[in-house]
Amino acid sequence: MKKLVLAAALTAAASTAYAGNLEEPVVEAPVVVEETQGTSGGIVLPLVLLVLVGVAVAAS
């Protein structure tokens, strides 16, 4: 009976000795997704303003 208790105690001690490791955990950077506008969206407003200025100059 004593050998059984000793074996159980040694098994429990041996299994807890390897419970962790010494390496630091790897932390991955979060992925950031940016929404981009199309190139046509950036040119429409200046063209409309140019047409309005042209109409204003022609009317005066």
CA dist list (Å): 22 to 14, 17, 29: 17, 12, 22
pLDDT tens digit string along 11-47?
876 655 555 667 787 889 888 888 776 556 678 888 8
Other CB atoms within 10 Å distance of the CB of residue 2: 6
Closest by Cα among 36, 52, 56 to 44: 52
Amino acid 60: pLDDT: 75
How many whole angstroms separate alpha carbon 8 and alpha carbon 15?
11
Better pLDDT: 4 or 54: 54
Amino acid 26: pLDDT: 83
CA dist list (Å): 38 to 29, 32, 46, 48: 28, 19, 15, 17
How many domains does the chain contain in total?
A: 1
Confidence grade of residue 4 (pLDDT, cut at 50, 70, 90): confident
Amino acid 18: pLDDT: 54
Domain that holds residue 29: 1-59
Please give the model's pTM, rounded to 2 decimal places.
0.34
